[in-house]
Amino acid sequence: MRGIAVVIFDCDGVLFDSRRSNTAFYNHIRARFDLSPMNEDEEAFAHMHTADESIRYIFQGTGYEQEAQAYRMEMDYSPFVQDMVPEPHLREVLQTLKPRFGLGVATNRSATISEVLRRHGLEGMFDIVVSSLDVQKPK
């Protein structure tokens, strides 16, 4: 048996506590269509699924699903990155692992992952980053 060669992290809930950021993001989209904020079930769903799946779920039955998807694709996510909180000792853990292992990220995030890593000073820390846009069947 060979030793460990690569350590792969998820973004949301592993590298970052992003629940507040995700909630603010989707509530912003809902507000655009004069809808109330998400309920607890919708927040939990949005925190565990892709943006596409989340919009479908939280806009089901509203008549705004397609418009909400289009708005999501054109809007700037950067105001919500500040609400993402790096997990304690994240940088130290990554710096400890980096010399011995390849590091990767596998995430359901889509186009936002590059901005998240850049804004938190983690750009270049990972050897590979795979988002939901890179695969046919996201996790």
Q: Which residues, in sequence order, are bridge partners of residue 128?
A: 104
Total-model pTM: 0.77
1: pLDDT strictly greater than 60? no
For the chain, the average pLDDT equals: 93
Q: How many CB atoms lie within 10 A of CB 125?
A: 18
104: pLDDT strictly greater than 80? yes
Strands (E), the chain: 6-9, 16-17, 85-86, 102-106, 128-130
Query: What confidence score (pLDDT) does residue 112 get?
Result: 85
The answer to whether the beta carbons of residues 99 and 5 sit under 8 Å apart is no
